[in-house]
Structure 1
Amino acid sequence: MLNFQFYKIVRLAFKNICNFGFSKSRPNNTKIVLLALQPNLKYTLLFYLLPVFFLGSLYAQQRDSLVPVNQSLNSPEVIPFSEPNDFLIREINIVQLDTVLIDSVKTKKKNDSFLTDNIVSTAKDYIRFDRQNERAYLYDKAKIVYGDLTIEAGLIILDNSKQEVYAFGIKDSTGNYTQRPVFTQAQNVVEPDSIRFNFKTEKALVYNSRTDQGAFKVKGEVTKRQNDSVYYMKNVKFTTSEDVDNPEYYFYARKIKMVPDKKIVSGFVNMYIADVPTPLGLPFGYFPLTEERASGFIIPSFGDNAQRGYFLQNGGYYFAISDYIDLTTTGSYYTNGSYDLRFQSNYKKRYKYSGAFNLRYEKLLNSEPGFPDYTEQSIYNITWNHSQDSKSNPNSRFAASVNLGSSQYYQRTINQTNTGNFLNNSLSSSVSYNRTFQGDPQVNFTAAATHTQNSRSGEINMTLPTIQASMARIYPFAPKVGAKKGIIENINFNYSLRAENRYNTNDSLFFKPQMFRDAVSGIQHTIPINTNFKVFKYFSVSAGTSYQENWVFKTYERSYNENTQKEVTDTVRGFDSYRTYNFSSSVGTTVYGMFNFGKDKKIQAIRHVIRPSVSYSINPKFDEFYDTYLIPATSGLDEKVVEYSRFQGSLYGAPSNRYSSSIGFSVTNDFEAKITPKDSLAEEPIKRKLLSNLSVSTSYDLAADSLALSPLQLRGTLPVLKDKLDINFNAALDPYALNNNNNRINEWNINNGGSLFRLTRANASFGYSFSSKDFDSTTDKNSDKTENDTFRQGGRQDDLFGKGMNTDGTFEDEEDDDEPIENDTERYNYTIPWDLRLSYTVTYNNNARQNEISSHSLMFSGNVELSPRWSVGASSGYDIKNKGFTFTQLRFQRDLESWRMSFNWTPFGTRESWYFYIGIKASVLSDIKYDKNRERDRNL
């Protein structure tokens, strides 16, 4: 290898000692003679290769694989190796130079050197020089580096007289054309069959070139390199397929102009699929190559709707505003006059924050104006998600998750395939800012706005804003050194403040003046004081009291109007307040029990952990905040005195006017077993949970004159499969009986002819998810899925209730995988990837002797990959109580290498529809697609 440093040393010696040139020669095969002549800069290139020349002259041998090239650069068809089959084998003879000196008259110095930088050349087999024709030959893994240009090939010929370089592949022992040239300049790489390059003009002719430009792979029959930024190509194929030599589709253009990393401008271009021309063609084409985002039009989809006629859907414009934010504006229009507008913006600043904002509005017209069934409706939806990088500011954080709008949006919209959202009955939003003030004590501050909305009833609850501040716990009697001990040293207190402005309204009044008039506001101050300590070493005791002060700015006075014979409520605006306090304590311990059966048994031992707890609480009555009014006796009714509090209906409600002194009981049980492992070499037994969190709790009010004992609450978890399947159950047992009107009475149920307890409610449920990955120890089972649109808007993250589909034909939880699939033509044998999810729930109600199963259903969802490129899936369920299938979705997907095909079908129900899509995966050609959808008339 000849490196740059070596060249510099030789050039310096050359300037200081002598000048060299080559004499004219005549044919003679006996010897080689070197003569000193006048300098000629035209031969500078051979000087750079001078050291190799001396070595090559000593051991050079005849080679049968070299071909002299002396054709014109302007005639590309004469390149001898433009095709592998044209590889010719010729012989190069080493000739003797004439021993007679040339004319001693000095010729005029020509300044025609074409080299402006050093050349580094290497070859695995040999480097040879033909002095007569002023050429150098590099054979087998040859490489030339000239400035930012690099040429690699099986054979490279350097022609000094024409100031050109030629590069070709070579044939291997089997006759295959190998080591094709690779031309690299900066980041541009071209892989042709042959190259012809002029060092002086830096122009080149390239045959059957292959290059990657952005998402495109380009192959041209003949390429002329004008300069490092402009290429002209003839008979060009460009595609996003991985295999440019055998693509499943491509665009064919007779002539194109390519500016690397910027654009391709073509003449007439048409599309080929599997080498078959299609009618899709354009008189000219423009294809951007930049890796950066660029503004541009979004091509709409065409179709028809059973209710609203033909449509153009999801067309618009994309604005690449900056590197941090973009904006997508799309719209749809239907021939009956319906339309929708959508604005979507994504933003992200690395290590700072990221988020997305969506605004959707639809004007829906049914039937035609003048017909009796004509209706007009406007619906909208706003979503906003914002997250802040935790490292950007550890002491403050801003987050937002907003989903609000028309309650019926997801049920009425005609332009979204988010199947999980229309099954969800509620919308919720939260925007919050948190700030931590370091110090002693530490103070936390939060400002937030929240929103919940029922899509069935249209009821909306919103807080705007909510301000909270809290102080860290303070231990005034704690020692400065060492742990806290005893009842005094563990005394602690803190302070918290909560201020709210709450709105309770309906969908029809949202953000209208009446909503703001009906708002309620208040400020709540809370100071809890607690302590804990040990009694008799094994019992943990905690005790505490809490003081609460509530400030409100609106109260309600009530009276009775004898003229109208109705109760009257008057709103009193102004500051008012009340104070409450309570006391509570609890004692608890943990008891361990062990039942040993022997180490030779399958079940060696069972451990039982019991956590009993007894609590006591006192809540005084605050009847000083209560007043009364009289309802006189009229129409045979008795006179009635009504007690009320002016704080009823305020933000925090009225204080209790009933004294309570109650004792609570609870016990929690855990059962575990030690099982002998099946593996005889295992040293430790296997631990298995038999029953978890089996708890029983109730309370007794000592101050109550009737119904003092609360219903017994029973709950627990039954592990079936470790870390996979747990059955959760709960029940309520009431010790009191019912009268003939099905109301609770102060009489034990056992004394009324019944059992000790009356089962009033019970529920059991489980969720089970497993897949083929569970049986593969090499698979990462804890991989997280990206949050999809359904999940962000209140739906499920999995596909138990179906998958939402994006406009690009992908399902929302589908991961983009640009890596090629290996062995994609093969079928799976016994390792077919699959997954299955099950969800079961049953609820029993007997509050008022209904004795019925109120709900009973089984939901399931599964996916199977039939081959590396075929996958099918289904989501459905069966309502066992009502005897019918729930929402059902069937999914089919086919990976067509550069294309994607999907089919989403809801075969029955109110959402009966189907959606078909086929299109190119690459985002630069995402508008080349065909999609079709059909849905039933929802009014039927």
Structure 2
Amino acid sequence: SINQINDASALVNTLRSSISYSKTFEGEPQVNVTAALTHSQNTQTEQINMSLPNINANISRVYPFAPKVGTKKGIIDNINLQYNLSAENRIATTDSLFFKAEMFDSALFGARHTIPVNTNFKLLNYLSASIGGNYTEAWVFKTFEQRYDEELNNGTGGIVRDTVNGFQSYRTYNVGTSLGTTVYGTFNFGADKKIQKIRHVMRPSLSFGINPGFDQYYDEYVIPNDDPTAEDEVVTYSKFAGSLYGAPNELFSSAIGFDLSNTFEAKVRDRDTTATEAKTVTLLSNLQFRTSYDLAADSLKLSPMRVSGSIPIIKRLEFNFGGTLDPYALNNNNRRVDEWNIENGGSLFRLTGANVSMNYSFSSKDFQGDRRDADEITNETFQNGGRPDDLFGDVRTFRDDGAYATEERKDDNDLQKQTRYNFDIPWTLRFAYTMTYSNSIRQNEISSQSLSFSSNLELSPRWTVGVSSCYDFKQKGITRTQFRFERDLESWRMSFNYTPTGAFGTSWYFFIGIKSSVLSDIKYDKRRERDRNL
């Protein structure tokens, strides 16, 4: 599929295909098994990644100490555990080696077992506490030994990396706990006031985690130093580095996390004087502060604080913002140093980055009050956190319009059966504004700023056309425009996407295939790359 979300990803053409099978074994506990074959191919880099196969199995949550009847109470009753298994045969190759014996030389095969154990309980009636841990065991059949060979590079020496085939395994674990509560505060102004009251909801939480170091899975080799007065260099490595699941942590780590979420709501007297109840209006949604303190670090223990929130402006339009505040100062080389920024003559925090976004969408249904109340229209853009990810969507966004025509518009289809042509032409229009500010190394600049729109129009019950474009304020020009055409062939779907402008010129993509997800691999698609002429 051609990704339509943003310019960076849209310029990467990737072919994907997969086939999967899943089975659920009912009972106590329930067992779920999924097996899949996946293929991903980048037409620009000619890189091919495959999983042949990828198997996942899990056993549903089990409460071994809970009573057979009644509710679970206390720390013991709520102890629960699961079991997850993931096994994969991963192949990474290129077009030139595809379907050749060499394709399997770099294949990585292994399995990973994970057992999470958790419990939760109330503390002093007002605090919600949880304790948990994870045990992981990884099995791999290919590892990589390293050694120093003085004879390499004409006697100057070099590192040799040997591939070792055979079963190897390692085991890791980690533990953590969290504590949280909810605090309510209300400011009353009187029932006769326009704003009768404001409610502030705070949800503070503390977390503590320990990740032990597993240096027993690490080895060393020595690089001799030509200077006899200097010490030889000792290099530490893990033979599991580069294996299917990577190497375990070598060093111990432990951190305390802090999170504070805030919501401000107001009770406002309705303009309708006949209304008996005041309406609730959200003033500030999910104003969140998040940071952590690394107990194991020797410096820069406090991580930058992340701040985010959302402000409703008008109906179905929200102003979303986020920023990163760093308490540490920068030296003359713009590197973070273990010194508070305020002690270095600056403010309490440095604003190292920020982002804002606003999304708004409406459709023909907004103007059909007799057929659907506008208050009932849900805006998926806002449900996704106000991010611009769904403005152009992925290919599913455009395909979903076909599903929308066959599923959500059942009432309209009933009308179409009564008439030869429906004069209603459903349409949607979406706008998104995004801006990113960068100041991590004193850039003090707006790194990106754009205004995008996307529109879909159903010319007939089975024909849909769409257009999307984006204006980049930093580059001062239109970065990308795309036209989309889709035909619903009942059991099949046909689409054609044409991009006349872009960083690499024009491109197009044609697709026809079965709509059913079970038979989604029965398809034909053809594309013209962006670096060629149409």
Q: TM-score, normalised by structure 2?
A: 0.77
Following superposition, the deviation at residue 936 of structure 1 comes to 12
Decide whether the 8 Å contact of 1:694 with 1:714 is kept in 2: yes
Residue 263 of structure 2 aligns with an amino acid whose one-letter code is D
Residue 126 of structure 2 aligns with an amino acid whose one-letter code is Y
Following superposition, the deviation at residue 663 of structure 1 comes to 0.8
SS at match of 2:28: coil
Match of 2:352 among 740, 760, 764: 760
2: CA distance, partners of 1:455 / 1:845: 32
Residue 209 of structure 2 aligns with an amino acid whose one-letter code is S
Decide whether the 8 Å contact of 2:481 with 2:500 is kept in 1: yes
Following superposition, the deviation at residue 457 of structure 1 comes to 4.2
2: CA distance, partners of 1:657 / 1:843: 36
Aligned to 2:166: 574
Aligned to 1:561: 149
Match of 1:596 among 180, 184, 188: 188
2: CA distance, partners of 1:504 / 1:554: 14
C-alpha distance after superposition, 1:110-156 (max 9, x if no partner): xxxxxxxxxxxxxxxxxxxxxxxxxxxxxxxxxxxxxxxxxxxxxxx
Superposed, 1:376-775 pairs within 5 Å as: 425-454=13-42, 457-564=45-152, 565-634=157-226, 639-722=232-315, 724-775=316-367
2: CA distance, partners of 1:550 / 1:591: 42
Decide whether the 8 Å contact of 2:118 with 2:133 is kept in 1: yes
| Structure ID, larger Rg | 1
Instruction: Give the root-mean-square deviation of aligned CA atoms.
Output: 4.0
Aligned to 1:321: none
SS at match of 1:709: coil
1: CA distance, partners of 2:142 / 2:498: 54
Aligned to 2:515: none
SS at match of 2:397: coil
2: CA distance, partners of 1:469 / 1:908: 45
2: CA distance, partners of 1:792 / 1:483: 47
Following superposition, the deviation at residue 548 of structure 1 comes to 1.2
Which of the two has greater helix per residue? Answer: 2
In structure 2, the CA distance between the partners of 1:537 and 1:425, relative to structure 1 (3 Å rule), is: farther
Decide whether the 8 Å contact of 2:469 with 2:480 is kept in 1: yes
SS at match of 2:275: coil
Aligned to 2:397: 797
C-alpha distance after superposition, 1:858-916 (max 9, x if no partner): 112347899xxxx99753221111111122357999xxxxxxxxx999775565699xx
Residue 267 of structure 2 aligns with an amino acid whose one-letter code is K
1: CA distance, partners of 2:397 / 2:350: 39
| Residue 886 (1) aligns with residue 479 (2) | yes
In structure 2, the CA distance between the partners of 1:612 and 1:453, relative to structure 1 (3 Å rule), is: farther
Decide whether the 8 Å contact of 1:734 with 1:760 is kept in 2: yes
C-alpha distance after superposition, 1:550-598 (max 9, x if no partner): 1111111101122222211001110011111111000000111111222
SS at match of 1:797: helix
1: CA distance, partners of 2:126 / 2:188: 24
C-alpha distance after superposition, 1:84-120 (max 9, x if no partner): xxxxxxxxxxxxxxxxxxxxxxxxxxxxxxxxxxxxx
2: CA distance, partners of 1:690 / 1:664: 27
Decide whether the 8 Å contact of 1:427 with 1:793 is kept in 2: no
Residue 449 of structure 1 aligns with an amino acid whose one-letter code is L
Residue 593 of structure 1 aligns with an amino acid whose one-letter code is G
2: CA distance, partners of 1:562 / 1:732: 48
Following superposition, the deviation at residue 639 of structure 1 comes to 3.1
2: CA distance, partners of 1:913 / 1:661: 50
SS at match of 2:86: strand
Decide whether the 8 Å contact of 1:552 with 1:651 is kept in 2: yes
Decide whether the 8 Å contact of 1:424 with 1:795 is kept in 2: no
Following superposition, the deviation at residue 627 of structure 1 comes to 0.9
In structure 2, the CA distance between the partners of 1:451 and 1:634, relative to structure 1 (3 Å rule), is: farther
SS at match of 1:674: strand
Decide whether the 8 Å contact of 2:479 with 2:501 is kept in 1: no
Decide whether the 8 Å contact of 1:545 with 1:583 is kept in 2: yes
Q: Percent identity?
A: 58
Decide whether the 8 Å contact of 1:437 with 1:444 is kept in 2: yes
2: CA distance, partners of 1:557 / 1:589: 49
Superposed, 1:853-892 pairs within 5 Å as: 853-862=446-455, 875-888=468-481
2: CA distance, partners of 1:619 / 1:878: 46
- Could you list the runs of 5+ residues in structure 1 that have no partner in the other structure? 1-402, 404-409, 412-418, 785-790, 804-814, 825-830, 894-902, 915-934
Following superposition, the deviation at residue 683 of structure 1 comes to 1.7
SS at match of 1:556: strand
Following superposition, the deviation at residue 850 of structure 1 comes to 2.9
C-alpha distance after superposition, 1:477-525 (max 9, x if no partner): 1112211111111111222211111223445544443332111111111
Decide whether the 8 Å contact of 1:503 with 1:518 is kept in 2: yes
- Could you list the runs of 5+ residues in structure 2 that have no partner in the other structure? 380-390, 403-412, 487-495, 509-528
Following superposition, the deviation at residue 731 of structure 1 comes to 2.0
1: CA distance, partners of 2:48 / 2:450: 29
SS at match of 2:61: coil
2: CA distance, partners of 1:652 / 1:889: 39
1: CA distance, partners of 2:138 / 2:360: 46
Decide whether the 8 Å contact of 2:12 with 2:42 is kept in 1: no
SS at match of 1:774: helix
Compare relative contact order (CA 8 Å, sep 6+) and give the higher one, 1 or 2.
2
2: CA distance, partners of 1:478 / 1:691: 41
Which of the two has greater strand per residue? Answer: 2
Decide whether the 8 Å contact of 2:35 with 2:53 is kept in 1: yes
Following superposition, the deviation at residue 765 of structure 1 comes to 2.0
1: CA distance, partners of 2:270 / 2:11: 45
Superposed, 1:228-307 pairs within 5 Å as: none
